[in-house]
Structure 1
Amino acid sequence: MKKAVLSILILIFLLAACKGGNEFETIQEGTENKETQEVNTGPESEEIYSGPALRIGVIGEKPKKNFPNVTFTSVESNSLKDPSYDAYFITNQYFEELSTDDWVPVFSTIQTPVFFVNLNAKSFIYKVEGMTYDPTNPQPESNSHTEGFVHTGDQSKRFGYGDPTSSTNVEDTPDLIFYKIFKDIGQYVKDTKAQSTKKKKSNPI
């Protein structure tokens, strides 16, 4: 009887081990600039963006890659003061120029998502007077590959993607990071439209 029970226990253990061996996931540790942890479980995480069409203004070098439902347009930095795009990408050519105190009021209130692609310093420096981006010694160092933020009312939402890299070249950005950014922009656009519709219904003319 004891041998039979022991055999059953061993069989259960082996089955559990086999099942566990077929499951694998990689969790990227979150940082203070990430609201949630990113979980990559293989090819499913690399699916192409298929949300609403996005118009992204790019200040700096425009990505040469083409993505479905996404249009990149080169714009001047002053476009940030009167946003007319679904989101903005800022690349390394403008990291230093836009980190002056003159831009703090803009970044501290902007209600269109802004992403600093391949930024090797934390993005909050763009919202703090007296802090600037030094390309020779970027401080404080970023924990992410790309960071961003957006303001809604009196709240601020922060974004962070991937692991830090020594390159600040937009062309060195993995497609997976772009897809994650597009997904977040698409969700933000959807939520913003829903809130606008709700306000119109509650305040009819």
Structure 2
Amino acid sequence: MIRHILPCALLLLMITMLTGCTSDSVDTPLYEGQPLEIGIIGDAPAIRERNISFTGMSMDDLKEGAMLPGNIDAVFITKDHLSEAAEPQYAQTYKKAGVPFFFIESMKSYIPFVYEDLSYEEVPDMQSGMYATGYYQSGGKMKYWGYGLYNDKVNSVNIKDAYSRIFATIASLS
């Protein structure tokens, strides 16, 4: 009888150990580069870094002809403001501001924000698994980025990791 129990016990132990090794979170390095000042439309996120500052902004600050504060390294626009951010009067700002814009929790890439004839609702979801999309245009050259979450799991550790990667991207542009 013990002969039959021992293999079952070993199998159960191995299964327990294997499931304990899987994770829905990733632990990655903090962004430790130069201090960054981020303009934020919406609520500032919880982040791990201490060298990042957020400055509250409104959509009015992005209207064509408005001047962004000179100390802003990038602008984040949060989920609650994405539909308004895709209105035509802001498209030229994203293209001419000279700083990157990050659309937080947008599943529509950068498309509805830079094409004036498309509304946010008209553009189909394109980026399953993406948490944020970045867009930057300078000197006639355009760049864009997508930031997913580890294993597509929405949790605070994975979200903070995405922000650390965004900060590294911002720093690489200067």
State the TM-score, normalizing by the size of structure 1: 0.61
Name the residue aligned to 1:199. none
Q: State the Cα deviation string for residues 112-168 of structure 1 (Å, max 9, x = none).
A: 01001111212121111221112xx8624224221011111110011111159698x
SS of corresponding position for 2:80: helix
- Alignment pair present for 1:129 and 2:111: no
* Offset at residue 65 of structure 1 (A): 3.6
Cα separation, 2, equivalents of 1:166 and 1:176:
12
Number of positions where the alignment pairs a residue of Structure 1 with one of Structure 2: 142
Q: Aligned to 1:90, which of 74, 77, 93?
A: 77
SS of corresponding position for 2:96: coil
Larger radius of gyration: 1
* Higher RCO (CA < 8 A, seq sep 6+): 2
Cα separation, 1, equivalents of 2:107 and 2:113:
13
Q: State the Cα deviation string for residues 79-138 of structure 1 (Å, max 9, x = none).
A: 33422211110001110111111112212323101001111212121111221112xx86
SS of corresponding position for 2:45: coil
- Alignment pair present for 1:55 and 2:40: no
State the TM-score, normalizing by the size of structure 2: 0.71
- Alignment pair present for 1:112 and 2:99: yes
Contact 1:90 1:116 in 2 (8 A): yes
Q: Aligned to 2:54, which of 63, 72, 86?
A: 72
| One-letter identity of the residue aligned with 1:153 | G
- Alignment pair present for 1:141 and 2:141: no
| One-letter identity of the residue aligned with 1:64 | A
Cα separation, 2, equivalents of 1:96 and 1:114:
15
For structure 1, the 5+ residue unaligned runs are 1-41, 190-205
List aligned pairs for 1:8-47, cutoff 5 A. Answer: 46-47=28-29
Give the stretch that moved more between structures: 98-107 or 49-58.
98-107
RMSD between aligned residues: 2.7
Percent pairwise identity? 23
Q: 1:162 to 1:102 in 2, by over 3 A?
A: same
Q: 1:139 to 1:119 in 2, by over 3 A?
A: same
* Offset at residue 56 of structure 1 (A): 0.4
Q: Which runs of structure 1 show a deviation greater than 4 angstroms over 4 or more consecutive aligned residues?
A: 163-167, 170-173
* Offset at residue 188 of structure 1 (A): 1.2
Name the residue aligned to 2:9. none
SS of corresponding position for 1:147: strand
